[in-house]
Amino acid sequence: MKKLLGLATIFLLLSFTVKDSRLDNTRVYLATESTLTISGTSNINAFQCLFNTEKIAAPIPLRFTKIGNTHFFKEATLLLDNDGFNCGSRFINKDFHSLLQSKKYPTIQLELKKLAPIENTRKTLNALVEIQIAEHTNAYQIPVSYTKSKKLGVSGELALSLGDFKLKAPKKALGLIVVHDTIRINFDLKLNMDTVSR
C-alpha cells in the first residue's frame, strides 16, 4: 500500500511539472506607438537618441517555459539597427555611431532570458536581459512594469556603464567636452501577442 501511494505521489508531481513547464511558442508584434531611447550626459549638456520602432515590422518569435510564476525564455531576441537611432543632429548621430562602432557592429542585441514576479508588488516583474553592444555581452536585472488593455504595455529603465562594453566615451574640443560613462535605456513598448499552434 505504501509503495502504491508513493508511486501515485511521484506520478502526480511529474504530471504537474510536465504540464506547468511545457514549451510555448508566441509571436510579438511591436506597435508603432512604442518608444525606446538611449540617453546620456556630458559635462555641458545632455543628449537623447530615439529609436525608430517602425524598423521592427516583422514579428518577434518567443519560445518559453513557465515554471510556477516564472517564465524561462529559449528564444526572445530583439535586434536594433544602430541606424534606427536619431540623436537630433548630424554631429551627435556621428558621435553616437562612432561610440557604438556601428560600421563594424551595426546592431544592438537584447535577449530576454527570464521573467519573474517581484514580491509584494503588483504589475511589476523582474526581467533578466542579456545586452550585446559591439562584441561584448552583459546580463542585467531590470524591473519592468506592465499594463493590459487592447495591447500589452511593458516599460522600464536601465542605467549601464559604457565601460561594461569596453566603449570609450568621445571627447570633444580638445578634451573640454567629456561624455559621462553612464547611459540610460528607457523603453515603453506596446505589444500585440499571437500564439503559435504547436
Within a domain: residue 180?
A: yes
- pLDDT for the residue numbered 171: 66
Amino acid at site 178: V
How far is the C-alpha of 172 from the C-alpha of 177, rounded, in Å? 5
pLDDT at 3 over 80: no
Query: Residue 93 falls within a domain, yes or no?
Result: yes
Classify each residue of 33-63 as buried b or exposed e, where b means 16 or more C-beta atoms within 10 Å of its C-beta. ebebbbbbeeeeeebebbbebeebeeebebe
pLDDT tens digits, one per residue of 59-108: 888 888 989 889 999 888 999 999 999 999 898 898 889 889 999 999 99
pLDDT in tens, 20-61: 445 678 888 888 889 999 999 887 888 899 999 988 888 888
Q: Does any domain span residue 127? A: yes
Which CATH number is 71's domain given?
Answer: 2.40.128.110
Note whether residue 96 is domain-resident: yes
Give the separation between CA 111 and CA 109, rounded to whole angstroms.
6
pLDDT tens digits for range 100-151 = 999 999 999 999 999 998 887 778 899 999 999 999 999 999 999 988 877 8
Q: Give the torsion through C-alpha atoms of 184, 190, 194, 196, to 10 deg.
A: 0
Domain that holds residue 40: 23-195
Note the pLDDT of residue 5.
41
**Which pLDDT value is given to residue 84?**
95
Does some domain include residue 16? no
Residue 120 lies in a domain: yes
pLDDT exceeds cutoff 50 at 1? no
What is the grid cell recorded at 73?
Answer: 525564455
Asked if residue 176 is part of any domain, the answer here is yes
Number of domains in the chain: 1
Q: Is residue 68 part of a domain?
A: yes
Q: What is the CA radius of gyration of the chain?
A: 21
State yes or no: pLDDT of 174 exceeds 80. Answer: no
Identify which has the larger pLDDT, 149 or 186.
186
